[in-house]
Chain A
Amino acid sequence: MTKENRGSIQVIDCQILAHYQFAGDQHILTMDSPEIAKATKPGQFVHITVSDALLMRRPISIMSIDAENGTFDLLYKVVGEGTRQLAERKIGEVLSVIGPIGNSFKMTNKKRPLLIGGGVGMPPMISIAQSIKDSDYQPFTILGSEAPFPFDEKAANNAEDYAGATHTMPLLEDWGVECRLASLQNYEGVYQGYVTGLAKVYLDGLSANELAQVEVYSCGPHPMLVAVAKLAKEYNLPCQVSLEEYMACAVGGCAGCVVKVQTESGPAMKRVCVDGPIFDAALVF
């Protein structure tokens, strides 16, 4: 590691400005930090001290930023003791946050990014959407969830029907980013099936020229990422995935959060925190 990375991550006491609970023990947390709002790139995360009772921090992806007001949003689901205690934090409380951390998604010359997020893997996709909403990219977003979506899904303005998927996430609609939803549950206007099933419907509707402009970006549960990577391979599309792993330091010091990656010189254990969390799917799965 060279000295050019020095000082790239900050330790900041951030105040909680909003904390909403949604069905399925999902929460959206808004925190005050002009520094993090300014520095964050899509796919990066923060490492949070969730309470005085738990010493280890918890890594959580940044979903969106509000550069004007200097805030950032996190979406998380209660899955263990750390997120359980985070869910108890109230507006006005101050938490120690390290961030922003990690590499970020690379936007390439492929102008049709296909963003696929599942469950609490949605935030990095929303983060990408926000970063390219005013550019010449034409993203298509697929969000999947088996719990009720942590937003009030509504019919998309463009009324395009992708095998029953007509509804979208209001935030993405406001940004002008086309989005459709998938779930095995029977939700109105939502594709009934896996995100990869809906992705096929979308991809099969593209011309050969359009297909050549697609790059897949994904984050979600491991089995979903395996399926997305397989789909990308079938369609011969490049695919970047965001991974997670139990993490201690989050700055590359402890090598606790590794994932096995294929490299030119054979397999290597790469750190999710600073070598990732974004990896080339073809090298991981």
Chain B
Amino acid sequence: MHNNLKTKFCGMSLDSPIVLLSGCVGFGEEYTRIQGFSNADVGAVCLKGTTLEPRLGNIPHRVTETPSGMINAIGLQNPGTDVVINEIMPNLDKTETRFIINISGSSVEEYGEIAKRFDDTDIDAIEINISCPNVKEGGVAFGNDPDMSYRVVELCRKNTTKPLITKLSPNQTDIAHSAQRCIDAGTDGLAVINTLMGMAIDTRSRRPIIGNNQGGLSGPAIKPIALLKVHQVYQVSKHHNVPIIGQGGITTVNDALEFIIAGSSTVGIGTALFYDPLICNKINDGISQYLIDNKLNSIDELVGTLTLNSAISQCDTSSDK
């Protein structure tokens, strides 16, 4: 691993700024089936969204391709908190990377309870998923209401000393306000953004392709939206030293750099793995080379270095006269 990629995130030492995103890599071991893939090549792995009780998830189809992206509605299929703690976590190889559990609840209390359970484990951090668009109760219902977001984060904060990362929904009016509330409630980091709600229709049957009717859109299609959201959230989070995992359609080195410049301390890779399972080292190499080329010693020196254009001249034609 390149030395200049080492970074700190919410108190964790990461070997790379890449975070593999929840829902894309199962419980951490799945992608190691691929020859040449290693969890040691990423800074952290976010495990599959976990609820207190087991969930079967949604009916098929759960995924479908859309222009420059895909829609998914898995529905938080998972074996429940106890199985994750007792049967899955003991097999995680913590010498390779840092592991973050992603938690979801259908009530504030459920979030709090799961956070408390994982507080007693050796998990490195907890990501609070208040933005899953694919379940009937909970999920995005919390994320789209800043006061509910506050209550969820507040209770989790009370129940754990682990680093807390709150995953924000783009499906809300003012994501920066929501970020502020989550910071007020004690989150250590923010994940920006979860998927955008979308739909695809089979014109032969005139039914939605996705079993859940609607789902979360990911992939390059959402990258410009995600980038703007990171920029907006960073304007708030930078004042509190709350770092961001920037995510949403990152597929190339340049995408990753854009997110870092906009204010992300780390970059999430999800859907891009489905296209190229060996993409992580390509992005590691590219970021490292960019730092060298620009005489920067670390990622930190690049985070949030965006210089905005002075957008005042667009209606001003007087100087042409």
Contact = CB atoms under 8 A, between A and B. Distances in A.
Contact of A6 (B32, B57, B68): B32
Most buried by B among A49, A54, A254, A269: A254
Contacts of B209: 246
Contact of A1 (B26, B68, B70): B26
A123 B75 CA distance: 32
Interface stretch (B161-169, B188-196, B272-280, B285-293): B272-280
B72 interface: yes
A9 B65 contact: no
Contact of A254 (B36, B64, B274): B274
A246 B32 contact: no
A142 interface: no
Contacts of A260: 56, 59
B89 interface: no
Contact of B63 (A5, A98, A248, A251): A248
Given A5-B32, A252-B33, A258-B57, A56 B277 contact: no
Interface in A231-285: 245-260, 267-269, 274
B99 interface: no
B65 A252 contact: no
Per DSSP, chain B at the interface is: loop
Contact of A251 (B30, B36, B61, B72): B30
B35 interface: yes
A10 B35 contact: yes
Contacts of B27: 1
Contacts of B219: 55
A54 B69 CA distance: 9
Contacts of A248: 63, 70, 72, 271, 274
A11 B277 contact: yes
Nearest to A98: B277
B62 interface: yes
A8 interface: yes
B112 interface: no
A77 B248 CA distance: 33
B23 interface: yes
A96 B274 CA distance: 12
Given A6-B33, A56-B70, A57-B274, A253 B60 contact: no
Contacts of B91: 1-3
Interface range, B side:
35 or more
Contact of A256 (B30, B36, B62, B278): B62
A56 B251 CA distance: 12
Interface string A1-27: 111011111110000000000000000
A258 B209 CA distance: 15
Nearest to A9: B33
Given A5-B32, A6-B32, A246-B61, A255 B48 contact: yes
Nearest to B76: A255
B278 A1 contact: no
B195 to A, nearest CB: 12
Contact of A7 (B26, B33, B59, B68): B33
Interface in B9-44: 23-27, 29-36
Contacts of B63: 246-248, 254, 256-257
A269 B32 contact: no
A258 B62 contact: yes
A55 B65 contact: yes
Given A3-B32, A7-B33, A7-B35, A255 B65 contact: no
Contact of B64 (A7, A55, A246): A246
B275 A56 contact: yes
B31 to A, nearest CB: 6
A251 B62 contact: no
Interface string B194-231: 00000000000000010000000001100000000000
27 contacts: A1-B26, A1-B29, A6-B32, A9-B34, A10-B35, A11-B36, A55-B65, A55-B251, A56-B275, A57-B275, A96-B276, A98-B277, A248-B63, A249-B24, A249-B31, A250-B274, A252-B26, A253-B25, A254-B24, A254-B74, A255-B62, A255-B77, A256-B74, A258-B60, A258-B62, A260-B59, A269-B57
Q: Which 6 A-B pairs have the closest CB atoms?
A: A256-B63, A253-B30, A252-B30, A56-B65, A7-B35, A1-B29
